[in-house]
């Protein structure tokens, strides 16, 4: 046995970064540190309203305590790189405590500021059209790392964030615990309405149901991308063990349990899934479903040679769905020129080129 095994190690939980914690949790923590409970409220305000990056800067805390806690992690990242697209979308590469890099996008429009957050470093789903999936998977993000992305964009824009979409790197429902913990914090502590939070998933068996059981008012967006099972399997490896019919069934349960309609995302790939027969097939599957279809014209990535359909083809697909009385709209992604649009996030590659 080496000497090392005898070294006392502080339990991981005791050094868990503070960001993401509720006021009650923070109060408990300050009390564990031998401080009066009201310091929990002060800490809460400094974390979520003043954007404190270290405990040392919290000037209302006693000096001695502050210096003792100087290196206790709050859980903020560093902006490693920032790129602004001509449409004013800003893409951030954020450096985490362990050196991993993730991408976050800030999307301003009129009075809104939407943040596209990552839920994992990389992504294991390996969808054929998505750059993130080409780079492989590193790890799940912790709750503080998700909350931090929103605070970072808010501070950089000097504007309150109004909307959050879990459409950055990663599959949120493979990291459901941390995503739910982050949503709680973003809703209750950062003050973003649940109806302004969207979780986008390719579908993980049982996890849409789990989300439904939470009875949240958030929007569920499901990456469908194909009108039938064989086509979907060609795009999404995880579709094989989770047939389209089962996925739609779970979505129906979501609607029943939450009373919220589901958004179906459908990426349009020219001559692959954008033909009139695909629109008809999709309309048939979704008939009577309380849902909205979001058509996303493919954003090119270098690894594959899918094509984005012409605007006329996109319009024709939209019109066909509407003729079948399916609620639908087209989402032209923002930030294309900065590689910040849907599916283009691949921090590892960018990191290498910096």
Indicate the residue among 115 and 267 with the shorter CB distance to ligand SAH: 267
Could you tell me the smallest distance in angstroms from the CB atom of residue 167 to ligand SAH? 4
Cβ contact 304:343 at 8 Å: no
CB of 128 to ligand SAH, least distance (A): 9
233 part of the active site:
no
Q: Least separation, in Å, of the C-beta of 149 and ligand SAH?
A: 14
What SS3 state is found at 82?
Answer: strand
- The residue number with the shortest CB distance to ligand SAH is 343
Which of these is catalytic: 123, 127, 185, 342? 342
In whole angstroms, how close is the CB of 46 to ligand SAH at the nearest point?
Answer: 32
Is residue 135 within 8 A of residue 183, CB to CB? The reply is no
| Given the residues 103, 142, 171, 250, the one annotated as active site | 103
Is 103 among the residues known to form the active site? yes
Tokens 């910040």 belong to residue: 340
* CB distance 101 to 138 below 8 Å: no
Compare residues 182 and 267 and give the one whose CB is closer to ligand SAH: 267
- Cβ distance to ligand SAH smaller for residue 27 or 273: 273
Whole-number Å distance between alpha carbons of 134 and 301: 10
Whose CA is closest to 173, among 223, 219, 214, 208? 208
Q: How far is CA 219 from CA 144, 207, 212, 292, in A?
A: 21, 15, 11, 11
Cα torsion through 279, 282, 284, 288, rounded to 10: -120
Task: Choose between 83 and 97: whose C-beta lies nearer to ligand SAH.
Answer: 83
> Given the rule CB under 6 A, which residues bind ligand SAH?
129-130, 167, 171, 200-202, 223, 265, 267, 296, 298-299, 301, 342-343
Q: Residues with catalytic annotation? A: 103, 342
């Amino acid at each position: 046995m080496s000497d090392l095994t005898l070294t006392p190690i502080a339990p991981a939980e005791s050094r868990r970064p503070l960001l993401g914690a509720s006021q009650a949790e923070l109060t408990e923590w300050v009390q564990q540190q031998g401080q009066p409970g009201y310091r929990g409220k002060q800490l809460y305000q400094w974390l979520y309203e003043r954007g404190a990056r270290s405990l040392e800067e919290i000037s209302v805390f006693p000096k001695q305590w502050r210096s003792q806690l100087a290196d206790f992690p709050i859980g903020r990242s560093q902006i490693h790189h920032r790129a602004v697209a001509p449409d004013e979308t800003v893409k951030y590469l954020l450096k985490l405590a362990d050196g991993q890099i993730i991408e976050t996008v800030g999307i301003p429009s009129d009075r809104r500021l939407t943040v596209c957050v990552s839920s994992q470093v990389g992504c294991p789903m390996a969808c054929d059209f998505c750059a993130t999936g080409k780079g492989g998977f590193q790890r799940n993000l912790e709750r503080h790392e998700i909350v931090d992305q929103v605070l970072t964009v808010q501070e950089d824009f000097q504007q309150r964030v109004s909307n959050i979409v879990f459409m950055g790197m990663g599959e949120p429902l493979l990291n459901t615990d941390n995503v739910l913990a982050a949503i709680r914090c973003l809703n209750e502590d950062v003050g973003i309405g649940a109806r302004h939070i969207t979780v986008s998933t390719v579908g993980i068996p049982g996890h849409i149901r789990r989300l439904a059981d939470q009875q949240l008012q958030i929007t569920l967006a499901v990456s469908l991308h194909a009108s039938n099972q064989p086509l979907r399997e060609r795009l999404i490896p995880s579709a094989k063990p989770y047939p389209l019919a089962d996925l739609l069934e779970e979505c129906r349960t979501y609607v029943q349990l939450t009373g919220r309609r589901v958004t179906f995302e459908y990426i349009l790939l020219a001559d692959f899934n954008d033909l009139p027969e695909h629109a008809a097939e999709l309309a048939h599957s979704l008939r009577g479903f309380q849902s909205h279809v979001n058509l996303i014209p493919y954003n090119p990535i270098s690894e594959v040679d899918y094509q984005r359909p012409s605007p006329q083809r996109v319009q024709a697909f939209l019109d066909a769905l509407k003729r079948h009385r399916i609620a639908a709209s087209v989402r032209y992604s923002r930030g294309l020129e900065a590689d910040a649009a849907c599916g283009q996030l691949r921090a590892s590659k960018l990191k290498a080129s910096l």
